[in-house]
């Protein structure tokens, strides 16, 4: 496929990868994504050729399949930025229902027998809103249903939650595949302005980006993606103690890594934080505000090891 003719929101894909809660998404995506034929056939990228999905859309994009297989007519509840309406969609046996809906710029709420389809621009809008405003699916679904006078907000909320997390995982997979395929075009250092021999960066933690434990035994860590490779080297700096004694500490003693900042003890003193596994994110940006790397905070406050792990991989 000629990517120069597509209009995939790559900036959005990067942002979604940065804030991806991999374990949570994995539970929803197991049915959809493993070896999915529609994903391998590039259905999402193909629907972005030409003008692609539009925020002003109020009906499914035109699509017709010339195959001679049996056609099926099914009513789909289509949720657009501009409104919500039930439309009749023609499906055929030469491709999955998921792929057919993607050709209509709709993302299904179920991998089989979908009854609800969310317009791609609506999911794109909610993706940004979730990152910027921390708006939950329930709040967004209820608000949308209220504004559009939809009588079953609970169904809309559940359908949105099912579709949204798989949508984000799909974008992450596509981003990874594009990065791998066109690796030679990706700069080794994300910022094209920073000099290679000397870089100035800033780091900070965010305790709003956290993941609730599924149960008391939920200790599985997500698999690091491109921007979270520092997760792999956190243990390398676990031995470092507080700032006042770091220089006198023997690395073999393996003491707990602590910080002189109050944020380090925040998660130990608050019972609310005991419900979370990833309790926050430490991020690193260059002086030009280009994201460089991130690492998850696991059941602790801010510690030196998180910052050192990021610096170690830069």
Q: Give the per-residue pLDDT at 42.
A: 67
More confident residue, 200 or 219: 200
Most confident of 239-253, 267-281, 298-312: 298-312
Q: Is pLDDT of 259 > 90?
A: no
Which distant-in-sequence residues (6+ apart) come within 8 Å of 123 by Cβ? Answer: 107, 163, 164, 167
Top pLDDT among 296 and 265 is at 296
Mean pLDDT score, 138-155: 92
The answer on pLDDT for 234 being more than 60 is: yes
Q: What is the pLDDT of residue 21?
A: 35
What is the tens place of the pLDDT at every residue in 81-122? Answer: 999 999 999 988 888 888 889 889 999 988 778 899 999 999
Q: Which residue has the higher pLDDT, 126 or 46?
A: 126
Interval 237-259 mean pLDDT: 54
* pLDDT above 60 for 12: no
Going by pLDDT thresholds of 50, 70 and 90, the confidence category of residue 75 is: very high
- Give percent of the chain above pLDDT 90: 21
Task: State residue 44's pLDDT score.
Answer: 74
> From the centroid of its chain, how far is CA 192?
25
Average pLDDT over the chain, rounded to an integer: 76
When mean pLDDT is compared across 30-34, 106-110, 230-234, the lowest value belongs to: 30-34
**pLDDT higher than threshold 70 for residue 186:** no
What average pLDDT does the segment 14-27 reach?
A: 37
Q: If pLDDT is split at 50, 70 and 90, which confidence band does 218 have? A: confident
Q: What is the mean pLDDT of residues 278-298?
A: 88
Burial of 215 (0-12, 13-18, 19+ CB in 10 A): exposed
What was the pLDDT predicted at 74?
Answer: 92
pLDDT of residue 170: 84
pLDDT bin (cut points 50, 70, 90) of residue 124 is very high
What is the pLDDT at residue 144?
94
């Amino acid at each position: 496929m000629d990517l120069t003719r597509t209009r995939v929101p790559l900036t959005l894909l990067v942002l979604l990868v940065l804030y991806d809660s991999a374990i949570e998404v994995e539970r929803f995506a197991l049915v959809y994504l493993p070896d999915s034929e529609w994903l391998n056939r590039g259905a999402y990228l193909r629907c972005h050729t030409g003008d692609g999905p539009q925020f002003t859309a109020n009906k499914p994009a035109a699509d017709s399949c010339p195959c001679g297989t049996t056609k099926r007519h099914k009513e789909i509840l289509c949720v657009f930025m501009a409104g919500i309406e039930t439309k009749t969609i023609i499906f055929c046996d030469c491709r999955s229902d998921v792929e057919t809906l993607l050709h209509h710029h709709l993302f299904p709420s179920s991998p089989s027998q979908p009854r609800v389809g969310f317009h791609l621009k609506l999911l794109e809008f909610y993706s940004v809103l979730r990152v910027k405003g921390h708006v939950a699916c329930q709040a967004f679904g209820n608000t949308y249903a209220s504004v559009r006078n939809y009588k079953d907000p609970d169904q809309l909320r559940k359908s949105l939650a099912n579709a949204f997390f798989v949508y984000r995982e799909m974008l992450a997979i596509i981003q990874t595949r594009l990065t791998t395929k066109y690796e030679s075009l990706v700069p080794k250092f994300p910022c094209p302005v920073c000099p290679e021999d000397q870089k100035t960066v800033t780091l900070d933690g965010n305790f709003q980006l956290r993941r609730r434990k599924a149960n008391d035994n939920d200790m599985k860590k997500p698999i690091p993606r491109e921007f979270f490779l520092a997760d792999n080297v956190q243990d390398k700096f676990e031995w470092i103690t507080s700032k006042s004694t770091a220089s006198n500490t023997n690395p073999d003693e393996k003491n707990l890594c602590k910080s002189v900042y109050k944020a380090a003890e925040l998660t130990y003193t608050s019972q609310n934080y005991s419900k979370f596994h990833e309790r926050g994110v430490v991020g690193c940006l260059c002086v030009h505000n280009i994201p460089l790397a991130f690492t998850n905070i696991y059941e602790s406050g801010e510690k030196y090891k998180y910052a050192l792990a990021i610096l170690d991989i830069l």
